[in-house]
Structure 1
Amino acid sequence: MEKEQKIFAEDIKERIDEIKKEISKKVKGASSKRAPLVGVFLFVVIIIGVTGFLIGKRQVKSSES
């Protein structure tokens, strides 16, 4: 009886490890595909924000003069 339980427990542990590996592969694959797109998007947003700030700053200076 105890031998059967040990074998059953080992089988369950192996299956859990397999599932963990499958999940980690899927998560890594999904994140690695989207990460460059998110980086480019954030870069573009920052550049647009900085450019808009600089243009606005110039317009304020020229209107004050």
Structure 2
Amino acid sequence: MGQAKPFERHRQAWTPDEIQKLHQFAKKGMALKAIAKALTRSEESVKDRAKLDQLGIAKLR
């Protein structure tokens, strides 16, 4: 029949655990890219969630 789809994290809802980690990483001053990698989410997703929670995320220069 149909081939099994590979696991994709597209448009996944944020879990309370992920949100807590995002807040911790933002407080530590971690860069957007590092946070995205740690949470296995896209930078865009992390940026949007941070904006929603009114968090400031450091930009790596």
Q: TM-score, normalised by structure 1?
A: 0.24
Q: Which has the larger radius of gyration?
A: 1
Higher relative contact order (CA 8 A, sep 6+): 2
Q: TM-score, normalised by structure 2?
A: 0.25
